[in-house]
């Protein structure tokens, strides 16, 4: 790779190498070191074989360079880009009170934003799908008898009838129950179901781990491999994704093998508390430019040490029946609702601005592909606001 092509590649990925003149100057070395640091390589500013191999990989453009005009401020520049000024502070280690100078180049993060429709209460939120990179809709689950047929999921048929043609929808196929051997038959059934969904074929398919054991996890990786092979040989425009849950899936899902066959892997967090360790461990096993952090925004309570989720409409009915004391946990940033029922004090938890902002910051720090929101609240304006404080949606 020539120095000029290196400079063009770094500029395209959002790392400023200075003028594209074919000279390996200090600005180019600094941009190369920043690229290496972002992708967890040895940040020495030298062209190593690992760096060259990664530059030749088709990486998503997770950064954008913005040039400051003659009379721009930090707030005005953010408005031109379509984010809040906090996003410029986040990406450049800038301070809100620091001035910006003409022709200065600042970085803004770009991340994929996915919405997962998981219950009947989510279906009315689909009118805001325009701001999401992808929307995950229920497609079906494999039959429990070990066959290759897909059983419809709740709400999938009603949603497919109203979904406009050409929407950014991907169908979720739930994998659970006994392991199967007819991988080719299952793959063909999945592709056929995606092709006849709604008014137009789906943009892709997502394989979701629903309580798989070791044999089921092996089948999931093999099914992803078969789907990728069919897509390649038939020249299908079909995006492939995988949906696993941390930390349960870490015991039986081979993330490295799974990521080889799919375009992205959503790692759903059971709880946002302690998410840094889980996400960083996943980033060591799979390419971070294929990882998506899944955040479940639905309320939950703790039962036997595990969170049990509740739909938003059920939570709204619960609040009408009980007097709840609302507070914010300063340590985790979660919103807490305490109430008394059947002689016991019970607590419900939901994500709040503080907890969501921490996870979004971790996604930026780990240079992940993006974030997925599961079970969006009825009033989702604050979610969008926190998102625009961290990055530009792809």
Domains belonging to the chain, first-starting first, are: 1-59 (1.10.101), 112-292+383-393 (3.20.20.80), 302-350 (3.10.50)
* Pick from 7-21, 161-175, 204-218: least confident: 161-175
Range name among 92-106, 154-168, 359-373 with the lowest pLDDT average: 154-168
State pTM to two decimals: 0.89
Say what the pLDDT of residue 36 is: 93
Matching residue, tokens 């946002």: 272
Residue 271 scores a pLDDT above 90: no
Determine the Cα–Cα distance for residues 248 and 267; give it in Å rounded to an integer: 10
pLDDT at 103: 84
249-253, 364-368, 375-379: segment of lowest average pLDDT: 249-253
From CA 26, how far away is CA 19, in angstroms rounded? 11
Whole-number pLDDT of residue 126: 47
Q: How does pLDDT run across 319-344, given as a tens digit for each residue? A: 999 999 999 988 888 999 999 988 88
Give the tens place of pLDDT for each residue, 282-314: 999 999 999 999 999 999 998 888 889 999 999
| pLDDT on residue 123 | 56
Q: Which pLDDT does position 342 carry in this prediction?
A: 85
Q: What is the pLDDT of residue 217?
A: 87
Checking if the pLDDT of 195 tops 60, the result is yes
**What pLDDT score does 64 carry?**
92
3-class state of residue 126 by DSSP? helix
- The DSSP annotation for 226-294 comes to HHHHHHHHHT---EEEEEEEETGGGGT--HHHHHHHSSEEEEEES-STTHHHHHHHHHHHS-GGGEEEE
Q: At what angle do helices 353-365 and 381-388 cross, to 10 degrees?
A: 40
């Amino acid at each position: 790779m020539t120095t000029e092509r290196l400079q063009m590649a770094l500029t395209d990925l959002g790392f400023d190498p200075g003028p594209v003149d074919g000279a390996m100057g200090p600005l180019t070395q600094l941009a190369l070191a920043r690229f290496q640091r972002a992708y967890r390589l040895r940040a020495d500013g030298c062209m190593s074989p690992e760096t060259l191999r990664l530059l030749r990989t088709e990486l998503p453009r997770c950064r954008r360079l913005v040039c400051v005009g003659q009379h721009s401020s930090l707030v005005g520049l953010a408005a031109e880009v379509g984010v809040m000024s906090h996003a410029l502070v986040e990406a450049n280690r800038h301070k809100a009170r620091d001035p910006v100078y003409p022709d200065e180049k600042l970085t803004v993060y770009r991340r994929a934003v996915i919405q997962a429709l998981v219950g009947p209460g989510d279906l009315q939120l689909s009118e805001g799908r325009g701001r999401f990179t992808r929307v995950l809709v229920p497609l079906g689950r494999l039959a429990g008898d070990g066959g290759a047929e897909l059983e419809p999921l709740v709400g999938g048929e009603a949603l497919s009838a109203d979904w406009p043609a050409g929407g950014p929808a991907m169908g979720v196929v739930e994998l659970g129950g006994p392991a199967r051997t007819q991988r080719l038959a299952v793959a063909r059934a999945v592709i056929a179901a995606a092709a006849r969904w709604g008014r137009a074929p789906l943009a892709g398919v997502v394989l979701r781990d629903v309580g798989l054991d070791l044999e089921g996890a092996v089948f999931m990786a093999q099914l992803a491999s078969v789907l990728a092979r069919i897509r390649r040989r038939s020249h299908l425009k079909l995006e492939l994704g995988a949906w696993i849950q941390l930390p349960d899936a870490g015991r039986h899902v081979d993330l490295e093998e799974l990521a080889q066959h799919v375009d992205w892997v959503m790692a759903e967090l059971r709880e946002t508390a302690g998410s840094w360790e889980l996400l960083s461990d996943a980033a060591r096993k799979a390419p971070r430019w294929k990882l998506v952090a899944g955040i479940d925004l639905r309320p939950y309570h703790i039962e036997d040490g595990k969170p049990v989720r509740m739909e938003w409409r059920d939570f709204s009915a619960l609040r009408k029946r009980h007097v709840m004391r609302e507070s914010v946990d300063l340590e985790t940033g979660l919103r807490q609702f305490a109430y008394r029922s059947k002689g016991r004090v019970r607590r419900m938890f939901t994500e709040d601005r503080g907890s969501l902002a921490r996870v979004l910051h971790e996604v930026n720090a780990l240079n992940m592909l993006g974030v997925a929101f599961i079970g969006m609240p009825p009033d989702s304006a604050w979610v969008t606001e926190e998102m625009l404080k961290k990055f530009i949606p792809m």
